[in-house]
């Protein structure tokens, strides 16, 4: 296991290097000049060139990339064009709201999704199964922005139970968390149902039933644990996407997370923040995939990494 972890961590380096190269080239290809935005609408050509020289944007792109990689290795991603603060502080400040929202949404999606999926599996082809299927399909097919606006209209404007947006106490977290969790819960429910139904038809489950093992023990100890591997994979992917910044939901609810920061940075052509965010998203996915692989060994002892 130690050798496997070391190999996986070593493999992250070229992946992150490739992501940084692609992100750097793509971001600098976005139309617009951050120096012109910083200099202001009334700035002269000399003023714009002075800002470009100060930011290092007058250098060849390959030289800018070399400087970026050199500084990134020591954790220095430069300063934000928009605020002038160190990029590390800017990203860290907005990462915490995204982490709070994502963890809440994933927890809600797992509890609701797995609960509904298990109910569908053990009540297959019954009324609860049909109703849950309709709700799952509705949850997957409903756009996040529409669901968010609908929840705001009903629970913020109409009955006034929750605020329309912003970040504050628990009341500010409820609506964006539900909006973010809806689609994930629906997908998790479908995966849980199909995976559990497949396991329930296996020979070892029929053997356990023939031995007189209780239905609850068969479900929890024998069936559910073996059905969780694809569900854990899905949850890891969903968590990675949410940590990457739920752009639509954070924009609708004015939630100051990474998704909201990404939109602001694109509008201002804040190259250092954009590059740092993309690298952070990639690192999160790699780390979550590694954690999911490790969880496989806990769920199924037959999984062994050489």
Tens of pLDDT along the chain (306 residues) come to 677 677 777 778 888 888 888 888 888 877 777 777 777 777 778 877 887 788 787 788 888 888 888 888 888 888 888 778 888 888 888 888 888 888 888 888 888 888 888 888 877 778 877 888 888 788 778 888 888 888 888 888 888 888 887 777 788 888 888 888 888 888 888 888 888 877 776 666 667 667 666 666 667 666 777 777 778 778 887 777 777 657 888 888 888 888 888 888 888 888 888 888 888 888 888 888 788 777 777 666 565 555
- What is the rounded distance in angstroms from the CA atom of residue 77 to the CA atom of residue 220? 48
- What is the rounded distance in angstroms from the CA atom of residue 84 to the CA atom of residue 69? 20
Residue spans in the chain of domains classed CATH 1.10.3720.10: 96-268
The pTM score is: 0.78
User: Quick check: 218 and 208 in contact, CB under 8 A?
Assistant: yes
Residues 6+ away with beta carbon under 8 Å from 39: 47, 48, 50, 51
CATH annotation of 96-268: 1.10.3720.10
Torsion 174-177-276-293 (CA) sign: positive
CA end-to-end span of the chain, whole Å? 7
Q: Which residue, 29, 30, 50, is CA-closest to 39?
A: 50
**129: alpha, beta or left? (left if phi > 0; alpha if psi -120 to 50):** alpha
């Amino acid at each position: 296991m130690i050798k496997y972890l070391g190999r996986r961590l070593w493999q992250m380096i070229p992946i992150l290097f490739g992501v940084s190269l692609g992100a750097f080239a793509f971001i600098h290809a976005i139309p617009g000049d951050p120096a012109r935005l910083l200099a202001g609408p009334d700035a002269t050509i000399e003023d714009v060139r002075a800002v470009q020289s100060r930011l290092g944007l007058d250098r060849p792109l390959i030289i800018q990339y070399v400087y970026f990689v050199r500084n990134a290795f020591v954790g220095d991603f430069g300063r934000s064009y928009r605020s002038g603060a160190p990029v590390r502080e800017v990203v860290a400040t907005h990462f915490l709201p995204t982490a709070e929202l994502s963890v809440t949404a994933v927890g809600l999606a797992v509890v609701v999704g797995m609960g509904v999926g298990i109910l569908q599996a053990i009540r297959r082809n019954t009324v609860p199964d049909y109703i849950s299927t309709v709700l799952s399909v509705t949850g997957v097919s409903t756009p996040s922005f529409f669901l968010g606006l609908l929840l705001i209209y009903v629970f913020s404007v109409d009955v006034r139970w929750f605020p329309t947006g912003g970040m504050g106490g628990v009341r500010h977290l409820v609506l964006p968390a539900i909006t973010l969790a809806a689609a994930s819960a629906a997908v998790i429910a479908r995966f849980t149902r199909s995976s559990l139904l497949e396991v329930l038809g296996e020979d070892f489950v029929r053997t356990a039933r023939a031995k007189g093992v209780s239905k609850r023990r068969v479900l929890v100890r024998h069936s559910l644990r073996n059905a969780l591997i694809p569900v854990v994979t899905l949850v890891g992917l969903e968590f990675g996407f949410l940590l990457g910044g739920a752009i639509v939901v954070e924009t609708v609810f004015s939630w100051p997370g990474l998704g909201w920061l990404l939109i602001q940075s694109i509008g201002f052509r804040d190259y250092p923040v954009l590059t740092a965010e993309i690298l952070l998203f990639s690192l999160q996915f790699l780390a979550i995939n590694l954690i999911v692989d490790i969880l496989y060994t806990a769920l199924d002892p037959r999984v062994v990494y050489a």
